[in-house]
Amino acid sequence: MSSPPNIPLVKLQDGTEISVLGFGTGTAWYKPDRFSAFNPDMVKMAKDAITVGYRHLDTAEGYGTETELGQAIKESDVPREELFVTTKLAQTISEGKIEDIPVGLENCLKRMQLDYVDLLCLHSPYTTKDNIYDEAAVAETWKLFESLQRSGKARTIGISNFRQVHVENLLKTAEIKPVVNQIQFNPYIQGAPQYAKWLQSHGIAVQSWMSLAPITWLKGKHLEATLEELSAKYEVSKSTILIRWQLDQKIIVLNTTKKVERMKEFFAAVDLKLSEEDRDKITKVGQEAHLRIPVGNLFDGGDYSPY
């Protein structure tokens, strides 16, 4: 897979290469009712993202954006083999049965007008209708994910929103190790830097979502002054600072936006060099209090529990 020259590629533990910056279609584009009307604005933004240089594109059946992303891919001038497309399954399981997973992926592919995805993630470790963690159910689910990788419908497979205990349990029975864990990751989530190191030590790459929460959902909290200071010092935006802080920890960063100009701020992080002192300051100040965006069905132990 090729990538624009300014966005580095990293190699996952199975040899798959992925851009360190990805364009996400959740959050800003998320549909509360995923079966709601087709959104042409989402198609245009995804096409713009591809045009300005994104090759790593992220969606999920739960976002309701697979159809729009697929249309954007179809209308873009970039060959399919140059794109890295991720989708995630959860609703297929919670609204049906675990054995529906292969059909669930087929439906994802139909919506995106694709023959395969580059990465298929299990969106949550709660694979029961009542969103209760069941170790045996996750193991059964993962077996089907492994079969989908072997079929070629998913080039590689990963997980999302798994805490350490969930990963440890999965690894007891997994024949194919997940290549990534997508987690809510930013300076405000206590334990996130340590958890990322633990995952990486087990060969599991970390992808972040809600990575810019300190300047969006959690704007004005205790890290604000530090980000203002560093933004002025390095003459870049606060989003650029936050993304670089993650890249320095070997995090694969997913971001979304409704403004093309913001993408330039995201890309600028690739060339930014933060001093070790400033990087550590962001971590220290951010970790003084634990702040998590509540998504109860994706994270147990309380929305505000550390990893």
Q: What is the DSSP string of the chain?
A: ----TTS-EEE-TTS-EEESEEEE-SGGG--SSTTS---HHHHHHHHHHHHHT--EEE--GGGT-HHHHHHHHHHSSS-GGG-EEEEEESHHHHTS-GGGHHHHHHHHHHHHT-S-EEEEEE--S--STT----HHHHHHHHHHHHHHHHHTSEEEEEEES--HHHHHHHHHH-SS--SEEEEE-STTSTTHHHHHHHHHHTT-EEEEESTTGGGTTTTTSTTHHHHHHHHHHHTS-HHHHHHHHHHTTTEEEEE--S-HHHHHHHHHTTT----HHHHHHHHHHHTTS------GGG--S-TT---
DSSP letters along 195-213, please? HHHHHHHTT-EEEEESTTG
Residues acting as catalytic residues: 63, 123
Question: What is the DSSP pairing of strand 56-58 with strand 84-89?
Answer: parallel
Q: Which amino acid is at 58?
A: D
DSSP 3-state of 119 = strand
**Is 86 within 8 Å of 24 (Cβ atoms)?**
no
Q: Quick one: 154 exposed, middle or buried, by C-beta within 10 A (0-12, 13-18, 19+)?
A: buried
- CA distance linking residue 229 with residue 135, whole number of Å: 45
pLDDT at 2: 46
Residue 298 has a pLDDT of 57
Q: Which residues of the chain have pLDDT under 50?
A: 1-2, 5, 301-303
CA distance 235 to 229: 10
* Domain ranges, ordered by start, for the chain: 9-211+246-263
Q: Measure the CA dihedral 167/245/279/250, to 10°.
A: 50
Tokens of 33: 């009712």
Cα–Cα distance list, 52 to 67, 105, 263, 280, 291 (Å): 21, 29, 8, 31, 33
Cα 243 to Cα 22: distance, rounded to the nearest angstrom: 11
Q: Which residue has the tokens 């349990």?
A: 169
Q: Report pLDDT for 75.
A: 97
Question: CATH second-level architecture of 9-211+246-263?
Answer: Alpha-Beta Barrel (3.20)
CA 115/CA 28 separation, integer angstroms:
27
Question: Residue 108 belongs to what H/E stretch?
Answer: helix 101-112
d(CA 82, CA 9): 12
- Reduced to 3 states, what is the DSSP secondary structure of residue 118? strand
How far CA 81 is from CA of 56, 89, 91, in Å, comes to 11, 22, 28
